[in-house]
Amino acid sequence: MSEKTYTRDLGEGVRKRHYHRTEKGKVIDFVVQLEVILEGKWKPVIRYDCSHNFAHIDRYNIRGEKVKEDIYLTYEDSLTLADEDININWEYYKEKFLKGEYS
């Protein structure tokens, strides 16, 4: 079993947290989350993960409310999508979040 964890700063007060675990070369667990610092605390903006035994996206608003969206992909493809989406769209998601909208 292998695990990889890192946090990457994307801009001032914005970061991406990445975690995944593989077994025999297959992704068996993952979380990729965009966070912004708000009132001194890191808040989730958008999170891709596979808790509850299925891949999905949790989209948050500034009040901490969330909506869940299923991802109909393998864990491997969902992890790739999560990394690419957040790397490309983090500024857009941050802006929507700070306006009070779901990312």
Q: Is the whole-model pTM more than 0.85?
A: yes
Q: Can you tell me the mean pLDDT for 51-68?
A: 96
Which residue ranges make up each domain of the chain? 2-98
Compute the mean pLDDT over every residue in the chain, rounded to the nearest whole number.
97
Q: How far is CA 49 from CA 12, 13, 21, 70, in A?
A: 24, 22, 12, 10
Phi, psi of 80 (to 5 degrees): -60, -45
For residues 24 and 36, the answer to whether their CB atoms sit within 8 Å is no
Tell me: pLDDT of 22 over 90. Answer: yes
- pLDDT, position 19: 98
